[in-house]
Every structure is written in C-alpha cells, then in structure tokens.
Structure 1
Amino acid sequence: MFTGIVEELGTIVARDDLSDSARITVAGPLVISDAGHGDSIAVNGVCLTVVDYGEGRFTVDVMAETLHRSSLGGLEPGSRVNLERAMAAGGRFGGHIVQGHVDGVGEVVSVSPSDNWTVIRIALPAALSRYVVEKGSITVDGVSLTVSAVGDDWFEISLIPTTLAETNLGIAEPGRTVNLEVDVIAKYVERLHSQATRGE
C-alpha cells in the first residue's frame, strides 16, 4: 500500500521492449536506498516489483496489460516519473489509501498558473466520473491530491509550489496522459450498496 506522497522525482534511464512486456530501469537513489529484490515501488502511481537494483537505479518488468492500461507505455529514456516506496507498517500516513492499481488514464486539458498555485484540469474516462467528488481524494500519476472542482467529464486539482517542484505535475502540459486511481473506499461503498439493493 502507498499514500500518494511522492518521495522522489526519478528519471527513466533505459527501456527494453520485449515481445509481451517491457523492462524499464529508473534512476531513483532515494527510493532504492533501502530496497531489495521483490520490493514494491510506485512509478507514476503504478505498483511495480524491483527485479534488479544497484548504483542508485532499479529495474522493473512491466507486462503488456499494464503498458496498455496506464501511461507507462509512453515512457522513454529521459522521462521524469514520480516515485514512492511502499508504506512501512509504522509509517506516517500523509496522503490517502493508494493501492498502486490504476483505474484509468486521464488527459491534461489545461494548465492555469497563478501567483501562488496552479490549477490543472484533467479529462477523465466516463466510467470513473461517479467516483470523483469535489473535496474528495484522487491519485494523479501517484500523487495524492484533493479535487478542487468537478464536471461531468473532467476534474481540477490545485497544486501548491512544493507539489509543482517535487513531482512531474510541475511539467504537465495539455495533451499529456496521466494515471488515475480513484478513492478505493468509494468503490467498496458502491459494491456494498449494489449488493444490498439486490438483497444479497
């Protein structure tokens, strides 16, 4: 489990495309400092398993399903990615419950900077719109954020300078795709409600 508090802005240093997967190497000296083989690291909000590591880098295998269902398919050497280690059992819970399981891919519609923050509007898949509410939590490329406004097929997030400086959302431009994970509690509530109304 993760919390959506990005620990490090990493860089893709290599990508090897295989027949049904890709092997990606990421520079992330902080997140790999105490990691080992088999540990989980969220890369742009996608929970991935470390298969090799050393010299401030780690390598992950990404299956075709993940490449197709997330924005990881568009990564290439030089891409900046948000990194977070799995939460330790006694760790501080700074964001919200994040599983690292992407629910869909959104697209940046607009970026509106002001003196003290920047508002980003993101178009989201219709199937996810019911889970997104104003002042609710959402994960965008692995960053735990609060929804500041919402429409039928979009939502907005308001980013402070720290988030802009320490995550790849600071370089977001219209047209860029981002990984979205909605609040898992909302999905559980919906499932329980649907079963209750059917009398299960």
Structure 2
Amino acid sequence: MFTGIVQATCELVAIEKRQGMHTLTVSLPEYLTEGLITGASVANNGVCLTVTRIADDRVFFDVMEETLRLTNLGSVEIGSQINIERSLTFGKEIGGHLLSGHIHTQAKVVSVAKVGEQWDLRLCVEPQWMKYILYKGFVAVNGCSLTVGEVFDDGFMLHLIPETLRLTNLKDASAGTKLNIEIDSQTQTIVDTVERVLAARGLEV
C-alpha cells in the first residue's frame, strides 16, 4: 500500500528490454535505499513494482508486458525522472489517500496553464473512468495523491501548487504527455455498488 505522497523524483539510468519484460534501473538517494530489501514494493510513477536487485544506489525493477502496455513505464527513456514512493509503514502519518499501486488507465495532458505560481493541468481520460472522478474527490496521477479541481465530460482539471511541482515529475508535463491514473478505491466501490443495486431494481443509472 502507498499514500500518494511522492518522496523523490529519481533518474532512470538504464533499461534492459527483453521480450515481454523490461528491467528498469533507477538511481535512488541513500535515504530511500536505507533498509530497502529485495522483494520490497516501491511505487514508480504510481506503479507498484517489486525490487529485484540492489547495487549501491541503483535499484532494479522488472516490468511485465501488461504493465508496460497499461502504464507510461512502457514509454520512459534513460534520463526520465520517475516519481518514487516506498510502501506505507504503519504507525506513520498518512498525508494523502490509500493507494494500491495498480494503475487503471492513462490520462493525456490536454493543456498546461501557469497561473502565477500555480499550474493548471487539464487531462483527458477514457469515458468509462469519468464516473469515478468527482469534483473535490481524490485521484492518483503518476503516483501523486491529488484533489480534482474541475470535472468535464471528457476529463478533469488539476490545480498544482509549487510544492507538488517541486517534488514530482508533473512539472515536466506538457500537452500530449500521458500520466498514470489510479482512481480512488472507495469511490469505485460506492459507484459500482450503487450501479449494481439500481440495475437489480430495473432502474437506469
């Protein structure tokens, strides 16, 4: 489990491409490798990946074909900055919302507007996911726990404060950039339950 509070943006230093799998090598600072072991879970751009090897500051992750297809880890390049969050430790403060690290879809950045120090990102997502994205609700974008600022028929708006831009790779987003989306599990459960109950009663959603 994760909280959506990105701890660092870290450089992708190597990619080994094999049939059906890529191995990503990410350079992590010492404070993020301390106590890290093989088999641990680490969120990379919001994707829960398993540590397969550690060599000094370099941490290795195997990414399966389905994950490469569904997320933006299939298009990252050497030098890309990756949002990193280690798994949740119980007993510590949760500043975001609970995440599984399982990506539902990708959103495409439609526009980026700079309003003073704030950035407004308008994102477009496939229509079937919009029922789970609510005004002032939670959504995880590249592993960042964020609040939805506005909702449209085909997407939503994010209002990003300077601290979010400083700590994450969302500052690198531009029109056409694809970002990983994990919808809030509680919202999904409620919406799906309501739909199921209404359908059982013969009512349209």
TM-score class normalised by the smaller sequence: over 0.9
- Distance in 1 between residues matched to 2:142 and 2:44, nearest whole Å: 8
The residue type equivalent to 2:7 in the other structure is E
| Length-normalised TM-score, structure 2 | 0.94
Residue of structure 2 equivalent to 1:52: 53
Equivalent pair of 1:108/1:176 in contact (CA under 8 Å): yes
Paired residue secondary structure (1:108): strand
Measure, in 2, the Cα distance between the counterparts of 1:52 and 1:127: 38
Moved more, 49-58 or 29-38: 29-38
**What residue is the counterpart of 1:39 in the other structure?**
40
Residue 22 of structure 1 is matched in structure 2 by 22
Report 1:147-166 matches (<5 A): 147-166=148-167
SS in 1 for 2:32: coil
The answer to whether the 8 A contact 2:112-2:119 is kept is yes
Q: Unpaired runs of 5+ in structure 2?
A: none
Aligned to 1:105: 106
Separation in structure 1 between the aligned mates of residue 15 and residue 22 of structure 2, nearest angstrom: 7
Q: CA RMSD in A?
A: 1.2
Is the Cα contact below 8 Å between 1:137 and 1:183 reproduced in 2? yes
**Are the counterparts in 2 of residues 52 and 59 from structure 1 also a CA contact under 8 Å?**
yes
Would you say the 8 A contact 2:147–2:158 is kept in 1? yes
CA distance in 2, matches of 1:145, 1:195: 28
Q: Deviations over 1:139-169 (max 9, x none)?
A: 0000000000110111011111111111000
Q: Which amino acid is 2:73 matched to?
A: L
The residue that corresponds to 2:192 in the other structure is 191
**Unmatched runs of 5 consecutive residues or more in structure 1:** none
**In 1: Cα distance, 2:155 partner to 2:195 partner:** 25
Q: TM-score, normalised by structure 1?
A: 0.96
1:172 alignment partner in structure 2: 173
Paired residues in the alignment total: 199
CA drift of 1:195 comes to 4.0
Q: Quote the offset at 1:116 in angstroms.
A: 2.6
**Between the two proteins, what is the percent identity of the paired residues?**
37
In the alignment, which residue of structure 1 is the partner of 2:3? 3
Write the deviation string for residues 159-185 of structure 1: whole angstroms up to 9, x where unpaired: 111111110001111111000011110
8 Å Cα contact 1:33/1:56 also seen in 2: no
Q: Distance in 2 between matches of 1:15 and 1:80?
A: 13
